[in-house]
Structure 1
Amino acid sequence: MSSKSSKSRGKSSSKGGAATPKSKSSSSGSGGDRTPNPVNQVYKSSGGQRNFMHSYGLKMHNHGDVEESKSIAEAFAKHDKKCISRDIQDPSSLILSTPEYPTGIPKSQSMMVLSGRSVAATLLVAAVSLLAITVDATPLWFDRIYVLIFENTDYSAAIADPNFSKWAANGKLLTNYHGVAHPSQPNYIAMVAGSTLGVTTDGNVNLSNMNLVDLLEAAGVSWRSYSENYTQLSSSPNCNLATTIGSATCPNSGSKGKTNLYARKHNPLISFTDVQTSSSRCNNIVPATNLAVDKANNAIPQVVLYVPNQCNDGHDPGVTYAGRFLDNFMTSTFTGNAITGRTLVVITFDENSGTSGNQIYTALVPFGSLSITVGSTDNTNFNHYSLLKTIEQNFGTGNLGLNDVTASAFNFP
């Protein structure tokens, strides 16, 4: 990764900075390759509140005073260039453990793990809170990233479709992009968690692992997941955990009969317990009709996950029908005030139609950006972890410490 791409790029706030946290334990096991991140750190406050510091490392001295703690915080802030203040309701419950020093902290001092009523921990929190240093940062390549996901189609079939081919020609076609698993759901989980997390079926799962939302919110990056035919509950938190919602007979679907329109297996963020139990996060898991409202209000978030229903994603009627939906979506969505700054639309599929190779179509379509040469191709070996890595690098969020660490981010000038 270049020195440019390693800089902090997410928007910061007084409540959060970029993060490179460790994975939380999973209720469904810890499947998938796990690559430990040498600079992960997590600190926790009472009441289950999680706070995440940035990915450059911080150690406490085991005999520090106020001035020493302040110098540590200043060195960290200088290195991170983000807001480092945190709302710690009970500093005595702070737990801090991390393997490396940022520039400016003496390496001769030993690391300590803080818990209980550690005076040093309290001093550090006080020093950090006093500094409250905030420096705005511009995203690396794009101000906004949309991810639009289709279903179960071979690369060759997608690129042969006139509409998918058209939009590839309007951006960069990734000719060596692959899904990471079969069936559908593990691929969706991988896009937002850096691992399939042991998920091997399309059945409902409730995962306690770290995920993309944790990174984005810690870095002050706005997000929203729009799913067609999804409906929110009337009570808070209003995440609807139904397996399916609505049904219809899709056009051109032959004798398949009615299909379920919304499918939870295609809405990955709702399967994480720290989303399900949060009113604010559930408010960002919304019906797709909200996209037009957000567009009209100039309120499109920085990261958008858009999930078509199981007709429009090609699940039942096939790639031709999905291609028509794609063309209509692109031409109707990316006009007028939806284009503010540099926007990237990632058009991808979850998996191919079989089990061999799992190569899938993925195109990167820019609006208002010179970071992509229109009509170009890239034969680098990418997968869903590359998509996650690109979002992380673009907004400077740090990583989840899993397959997103070793994945190749998309190539931009």
Structure 2
Amino acid sequence: MSIAFTLSKQGVLFDQFYALTHTSEPNYIGVVGGDFFGAFNDAFYHIPENISTVVDLLEAKNISWASYQENMPYDGFTGFSYTQTNYLNNQGQYTYYERKHNGLISFDSVANVTDRALRIRNFNDFANDLKANDIPQWNFITPNLVNDAHDTTIDFAADWLNFWLVPLLEDPNFNSNRTIILLTFDETETFSINNRIYTLALGNGVPKELRGTTDSTFYTHYSALSTVEANWGLGALGRGDTNTTLNNVFQFVANATGWKNNGISGNSSDIPLRRAQHVRHQPRRRAHLRRPGP
């Protein structure tokens, strides 16, 4: 039995969830900033310090937050990538971490503010925070380049999820009765078709009657942002998170908060094209986890 099937029985499958564009980095930027600000590749972007992110909204409401990036060398690291000993075969060096999969660090309003930068941490810190029952309320978690399937395969990533995520679902320090975990990818691999990606909502905060069901509402990465905003009453950044075509809130959160979605669902012709044609960078899919439950 595949891990995707096993997990889908525990959550809600979003079968019309779309990335924003190609390549990887604009999607990471967009999901925390409500826009990808013209980014069209995986370059070293600095988004000016006067540009707000979800962090500003969370801090205004005293919602704790962190980002955990696997194999990032130390808290607040702003480098383009990090190479270390290849732990898979103990032969040579391997680049496991790349900045392009760390959306918040692209914003100078985070990277240039010491207290904020130090909340972008690695998986050793995650393990320590979990043990101390000190996991923040909102998290963005990115596996490294082999565990996210970028440099390996979906089967490799599935094995990692089985090893890393499945036990966490049984840990109350991670998965409380108010926790929502969004398991998703940054983009599809094929640029010539619309940018639909596998996405699943998990966690004990998912209503029991919805577990094992499919939601065909049209969602995008902006929906992940607008759902967090609706969940805690954060207000909005005024970008893609307020675009009424692209910002549908996850339906069970919309129901709880009184949010009105736009009604686009299924294979509607109203679903806009979410792809771009650029020079390819050989993308594969990255798994994220976001935990917006209070």
| 1:173 aligned counterpart, secondary structure | strand
Mapping of 1:160-199 within 5 angstroms? 162-199=2-39
Matched AA of 1:354:
T
Match of 2:226 among 375, 383, 389: 389
Q: Which runs of 4+ in 1 moved over 4 A?
A: 247-252
Q: Are 2:176 and 1:340 aligned? A: yes
* CA deviation profile, 1:100-158 (whole Å, cap 9, x unmatched): xxxxxxxxxxxxxxxxxxxxxxxxxxxxxxxxxxxxxxxxxxxxxxxxxxxxxxxxxxx
Distance 1:239 1:189 in 2: 17
Matched AA of 2:158:
G
Fraction of identical pairs, as percent: 34
Match of 1:298 among 128, 133, 138: 133
Q: Higher RCO, 1 or 2 (CA under 8 Å, sep at least 6)?
A: 2
Matched AA of 1:227:
Q
Matched AA of 2:179:
T
| 2:79 aligned counterpart, secondary structure | coil
Aligned residues: 244
| 1:340 aligned counterpart, secondary structure | coil
Deviation at 1:248, TM superposition (A): 5.9
Distance 1:336 1:402, change over 3 A: closer
Match of 1:353 among 189, 193, 209: 189
Report if aligned partners of 2:70, 2:122 keep a CA contact under 8 Å in 1: yes
Distance 1:196 1:290 in 2: 28
Distance 2:251 2:94 in 1: 38
Unaligned 5+ segments in structure 1 are 1-160, 233-237
Match of 1:314 among 146, 149, 170: 149
Distance 2:87 2:31 in 1: 27
Deviation at 1:396, TM superposition (A): 0.9
Distance 1:340 1:365, change over 3 A: closer
Matched AA of 1:207:
I
* CA deviation profile, 1:151-206 (whole Å, cap 9, x unmatched): xxxxxxxxxx8112221221000011111111100011110011111111101111
Report if aligned partners of 2:175, 2:203 keep a CA contact under 8 Å in 1: no
Mapping of 1:199-348 within 5 angstroms? 199-208=39-48, 209-232=51-74, 239-247=76-84, 259-334=94-169, 335-348=171-184
* CA deviation profile, 1:294-349 (whole Å, cap 9, x unmatched): 11111111101101000000001110000111122222323143333311110000
Deviation at 1:389, TM superposition (A): 0.6
| 1:221 aligned counterpart, secondary structure | coil
Could you state the TM-score of these two structures normalised by the residue count of structure 1? 0.56
Greater mean deviation of Cα atoms: 398-407 or 371-380: 371-380
Report if aligned partners of 1:172, 1:372 keep a CA contact under 8 Å in 2: no
| 1:387 aligned counterpart, secondary structure | helix
Distance 1:399 1:202 in 2: 26
Unaligned 5+ segments in structure 2 are 256-294
Deviation at 1:261, TM superposition (A): 0.3
Distance 1:164 1:198, change over 3 A: same
RMSD after superposition:
2.0
Deviation at 1:277, TM superposition (A): 1.5
Distance 1:309 1:215 in 2: 27
Matched AA of 1:313:
D
Larger radius of gyration: 1
Match of 1:378 among 212, 215, 222: 215
| 1:385 aligned counterpart, secondary structure | helix
Matched AA of 1:278:
V
